[in-house]
Amino acid sequence: MATKQNELPDPWVFWDTKTVAAHLTISISRFEGYYAVLLDFPKCSRLPSEKGKGKKVWKACEVVTWSYKNVTGEVA
């Protein structure tokens, strides 16, 4: 039987804006304008890019843990 921890994505898996919004079942604009800027939401990183700022990404395991905590009030 799987445990909650076993259900978390690997710590080296990153999600882009579209994937995080899909996980939260909200629009991309709602994610960018509300959730992504919350002080307790996981911080994003940027992938390296030849053109300057890279694409924003979040650690999938941190997003899943944050959403679980905010829905249930428990820590995954």
Q: Which domains does the chain have, with CATH numbers?
A: 12-72 (1.10.1660)
Residue 14: which pLDDT band, with cuts at 50, 70 and 90? very high
Which among 69, 63, 61 has a CA at the least distance from the CA of 25?
63
Stated length of the chain = 76
> In angstroms, rounded to a whole number, what is the distance separating the alpha carbons of residues 60 and 16?
9
Residue-level pLDDT at 3: 37
- Say what the pTM is: 0.82
- Neighbouring CB atoms inside 10 A of 14's CB total 20
Residue labelled with tokens 């997003």: 63
Which among 53, 52, 60, 51 has a CA at the least distance from the CA of 16?
60
The region, left, alpha or beta by phi > 0 then psi within -120 to 50, assigned to residue 47 is beta
Higher pLDDT, 71 or 9: 71
